Structures are given as C-alpha cells and as structure tokens.
Structure 1
Amino acid sequence: MDRAEANRSLRMRSVPGDRLPLHCTGVGKAILSQLPEEHMRAILGSAPLHRFSEHTLVEPEDVIREARRAKEQGYGVDRDEYEVGLTCYAMPLRLPGSDFAGAVSISGPSARMRDPETKERFLELLSQASREAMRAMQAYEPNQKTLSVEVSSASS
C-alpha cells in the first residue's frame, strides 16, 4: 500500500513492505485477530517471543488474549511494545465473503496517540481508510497494474 507522513518534527519512519513481528505490532495483532486460535498458536508457538522493549508481550498466551481483544474492539494496538515511545492502532481489511486481506494502521508518538480525543479521531480516520481500501480492493481488476487508495493525512 502506501503511507502518509506527519508534518511534525517527530516522525516514525516506515517502509511499505517491511516485515515486522506479529506479536508486538498493531498490524500484527490486527492480522492475528482474524485467524482461528489454532492458527495463532501454530504461528506463535509455545516458547517466549522476542522482547523488543520492556512492554513487549513475550508469552504467546498474552498475545492471543490481546488478539482476541483486537477482534472484539475492531482494531489492534501496540503500546510501546515494538519501540518505546511509539503507539500504533491497526484495523484489519476483510472483503465481504472472503478471507482476511490485510490491515491499515496509524502510528505516532505515544504521548499524542493515547490522548482519548486524539485516539478517537485517529480511529475514525483509520476506519475511513479501511472502508476506502476495501472499496478499492473490491473494484480492482486483475489486469490493472496498480491499486491506488487515497487517504487524508491527519496531523495532531
């Protein structure tokens, strides 16, 4: 997909296509939330997972519990788990009548992202981006070379 960068001096660098761990990222939890529990267990295993920060969930059972919460609330959250000072909210993309298709996310400095009003505003923008991405995926024709989705950038 793509990304939009903030116009503030403190920014997160992300590269579309980067591979990040499932157990400690918002996108990872959004993805896990769409899987049956036996698939989550197979992916996570039973041994402690890699710790990226003091907030990283390293026990597979804790990650599964967090993925269940993500499914209930409709979005996954990374609270300083992958990188201290960074919070991410992510929503799964699911096409009607099909399997899981991906996720959209918004990340930023934890101090800004956790403010209740800011969080609600970002979750609404994320929901809008999710709907737009799903509409674009439904309209996509296999012979097209690119899939483009426009999302408005939010500055906090």
Structure 2
Amino acid sequence: MDNKVKSVKKTFDIINTVQALDGASLTTLSQQMGMPKSTAHNYLKSLEEAEYLVNDGGTYRVGIRFLEHGAYARNRMKIHEIAKPEIDKLAADTGELANLLVEEHGLGSYLHRARGDDAVQVEAHVGTRVYLHSTGLGKAILANLPAERRDEILDERGLPERTPQTTTNRYELLDELEEIRERGFAFDDEERLKGLRCVAAPIHSNSDRVIGAISISGPTNRLRGERYREELPNKLLEAMNVIELNITHS
C-alpha cells in the first residue's frame, strides 16, 4: 500500500474514531490513533478546512456535510423512494416503529424509519449500521441471499452477541434462515435490543434478487401473542407485496 493510499485510509480511520468517541480533542485522538500530535493536528485541520469536521472549543466533531453525501446515496436508491410511503403507512396503522434496511458491505443500514403514535425510542437512526444476524431485518435479507454471498458475510462479520438472545451458533442460524425462507418473514425476539421485538420481511427486485427488508418493531409487552405471530406479519406481507409490485412496474 503506497503512502497516498495509506493517507486516505488514515483519514477515514480518524473520521470513524471521532464519530465513535462522539467528539475528540487533539490529545485524545493522538492517543487513540497512536500518532504524533503534529500529524494528528494536520489531519484534523485539513478535515476542518474541508468542512467534514467542526472544532467545538477544542473538541472535533463530525460535521453535517456528511449528511449531504448520505442523503444523496439514500435517495438514489430506488427502494427508498418506493418503500417510504408503505413504511409510513405501517407506522401509522400499527402505532409502532416501521423500518427499511438494506445490506451493504455485509452490514445492514437503515434507510428510513417511521414512528407511529406509540412507537418506542430506540438507539438506531437512519444511517445506523447493524449486524445482519442480530436483527429481524438482517435475517430476512440473509435468508434470501445466494448461499455464497451469505457465507461470505458470515465469514467476514462473524456472529457477535448483542444480547443473551442473539444467535451466535452458525448452524442454528442457518436452520433459522431456512425457516424464514419457507415462512416468508423473520422474527427478532430481543436479539439486538433487550425488551424489543420485531417482525421483518424481505423485499425482492423484479429479477427476484433481495434488495432490502421492512419491519415493524415494538416493546415485548405489545408485540406478543396473535398480534406478534399473525396480525403484524400479515400487515407486513401486504406492504411487501405493494412495494414489490411498484418496483416491478416503476
């Protein structure tokens, strides 16, 4: 790897570190990155001048210019434009949190979230990336990917535990993915966040390639029994059908 490529990689490592720390001073960043203060200062000042970082009284933070790039990337994806009205409708009809997720680089990224009147506040937001195996959305995608691509993702990303309910055994996960394929939708029973359940369904393109997933999420005290196992899955499958039809004929 030549010096120019190393410099580009280091730039993004710094951005990711500043975000992970929710802001960092020059000293903190220098220590975290294991680089001299003078080098860290040069990177930080260059990123500030390019308007990708802001200096908040000596604490560097990620700037909102990244929002421009994120919004562009999201809006150029056909699935976002077509699925958004149905996600909003699911949230309004159920009162819960409705979501749209796509896979990129072996992780799931939220493209759209809509909150119903009773929706709970959770940590994820648009742009948040999650491990696929620990969410209903991600499992719905994994279950419908070609086996070779699915195995690549599991090999690269592993099966880290998010809660005691997360499936971390590969063979158990593969059995569950087979059930999801046959059933047509996935459940997430407190596997990413304790106290939260989710029902998710895949979205396919007109060439039958899985391009994302939609879900309804809510607290365990509301997502239970027939509502969790039948009512919400049926609503989700109806929305999935509408989205896929619109994708086919758009």
Q: TM-score, normalised by structure 2?
A: 0.51
Which residue is 1:101 aligned to?
211
Q: CA deviation at 1:42?
A: 2.2
Larger CA deviation: 66-75 vs 4-13: 4-13
1:65 corresponds to which letter in structure 2? D
Bigger helix fraction: 2
Q: Does 1:24 align with 2:134?
A: yes
Picking from 14, 19, 34, the partner of 2:144 is 34
Percent identity between matched residues is: 30
Distance 1:47 1:93 in 2: 22
Picking from 68, 74, 81, the partner of 2:178 is 68
Q: TM-score, normalised by structure 1?
A: 0.78
The structure with more radius of gyration: 2
Distance 1:118 1:127 in 2: 13
Distance 1:9 1:47 in 2: 30
CA RMSD of aligned residues (A): 2.3
2:229 corresponds to which letter in structure 1? K
Distance 2:240 2:231 in 1: 14
1:119 corresponds to which letter in structure 2? R
2:216 corresponds to which letter in structure 1? I
Which residue is 1:82 aligned to?
192
> Is contact 1:47–1:59 with CA below 8 Å preserved after alignment?
no
**Alignment gaps of 5+ in structure 1:** 141-156
Larger CA deviation: 16-25 vs 3-12: 3-12
Bigger strand fraction: 2
2:169 corresponds to which letter in structure 1? E
Which residue is 2:161 aligned to?
51
Distance 1:112 1:119 in 2: 12
Q: CA deviation at 1:48?
A: 5.9
**Alignment gaps of 5+ in structure 2:** 1-79, 81-111
Q: 1:45-68 CA deviation, whole Å, 9 max, x = no partner?
A: 299621111111112222211111
How many residues end up aligned between the 2 structures? 140
SS of the residue 2:115 aligns to: coil
Distance 2:129 2:194 in 1: 18
Which residue is 2:225 aligned to?
115
Change over 3 Å in CA distance of 1:95–1:48 after alignment to 2? closer
SS of the residue 2:201 aligns to: strand
Change over 3 Å in CA distance of 1:119–1:112 after alignment to 2? farther
Distance 2:126 2:238 in 1: 20
Structure number with higher relative contact order (C-alpha < 8 Å, ≥ 6 residues apart): 1
